[in-house]
Structure 1
């Protein structure tokens, strides 16, 4: 079983999580070689590790210049390509009337965990993520629907009805930031429970500009 010990560094634990594509790693302590009953000390997740980092640097972040830089200047996350910019991969987005089948296929094909749902002006309306798929298991809803007939909007409404608090933080499903926000500000937002990504939007219009996930932050910090 994938695990870590209490003497492992935070870097070691983060690498275990990223390289094995898991949500958390158990921290196991064995008091002696003869002890056949190891103790589970903790379940280490990227969110909890990021919270620890933010707590440590919160009052001295100015001593680490990279934490004060705007996220738009850093090579992290997935962004909407600008004209003439061929280095950024396209950001997957869908309209609310797209079929649920399209959303599920795009999650797999684009190798992403979430898709921003936008209007005709690419302004953020909602987000459909892999965790929303679990709503289809409630009361075997998947057995009563046709994936190519149900829209994303209908699927999201069904998910909200099943559990109105699932995926919300401070009353919001979509956690947003601006491209001018500092790395530290984005890190603090991502360290909140249940927040796995933030959507970068344009001020005022809420036009989607990019997505930054927990794993994006750690890949940048370790890079």
Structure 2
């Protein structure tokens, strides 16, 4: 957390014999969270905070309430926004992912920093103009042509509800490849906030 990395190598070094350090394991935030969830799986009652709904604890980034003078707007974009606008938002908002929403702020997809690097596939970045290509088009360029777009692409959009317990959210974030959950309103899938792996650890470490 101090160095803002999600994976740390665990090495064995024996200074006595001067041997080369050996890599034993890669410790990751998701792996540590999975271990915590496994430990409390059958004794979650011993930590009542794990049963609290995420909407009642200071966790993640939320859409500001009406009339909240200190609320910072959650970074979101429409699918027709330019790729340049997304890159600018990554820098200005200091985020690693941006929910893509429709005119009702309902979740359609998510654009992450990894999607930027995906444009290196087949050197797609060399054929595009940042201000002329939309987020929707950029996502199609960076993924399998046969993959569906939007929420039906289940491995891209991972969601939760504000009523979900902290323990349930932690279990979902402990799944391989899941780095964040978009908090949506039940039914409408209107975006209410976003929770990342690092958010959970900042909360747990107080």
- TM-score interval, normalised by the smaller of the two chains: over 0.9
Give 1:164 deviation, angstroms. 5.2
What SS does the aligned partner of 2:75 have? Answer: coil
Q: CA deviation at 1:163?
A: 9.4
- 2:141 is matched with which residue? 158
Residue 133 (structure 1) aligns with? 116
Corresponding residue SS for 1:76: coil
Distance 1:103 1:198, change over 3 A: same
Answering whether residue 36 of structure 2 is matched by residue 53 of structure 1, we say: yes
Is 1:75 aligned with 2:58? yes
Contact 2:162-2:184 at 8 Å conserved across structures:
yes
Unaligned runs of 5+ in 2: none
Query: 1:25-80 CA distances to partner (integer Å, 9 max, x unpaired)?
Result: 10011244333211111111101110111111111111101100000111110000
SS at match of 1:179: coil
Instruction: State which drifts further: 58-67 or 79-88.
Output: 79-88
| Structure 2: distance between partners of 1:211 and 1:86 | 20
CA-CA distance at 1:116 after TM superposition: 0.3
Q: Is the 8 A contact 1:135 1:162 kept in 2?
A: no
For structure 1, list consecutive stretches of 5 or more residues without a partner in the other structure: 1-17
- Are 1:91 and 2:74 counterparts? yes
* Number of the residue aligned with 1:8: none
Q: Deviations over 1:80-106 (max 9, x none)?
A: 001122343210000000000100110
RMSD between superposed Cα atoms in Å: 1.8
Report the TM-score, using the length of structure 1 for normalisation.
0.86
| Partner Cα distance (2:101, 2:25) in 1 | 38
Instruction: Please tell me whether the aligned partners of residues 47 and 214 of structure 1 are also in contact (alpha carbons under 8 angstroms).
Output: yes
Confirm or deny: 8 A CA contact 1:78 1:88 kept in the other structure. no
**1:215 is the counterpart of 2:179:** no
CA distance in 2, matches of 1:120, 1:25: 41
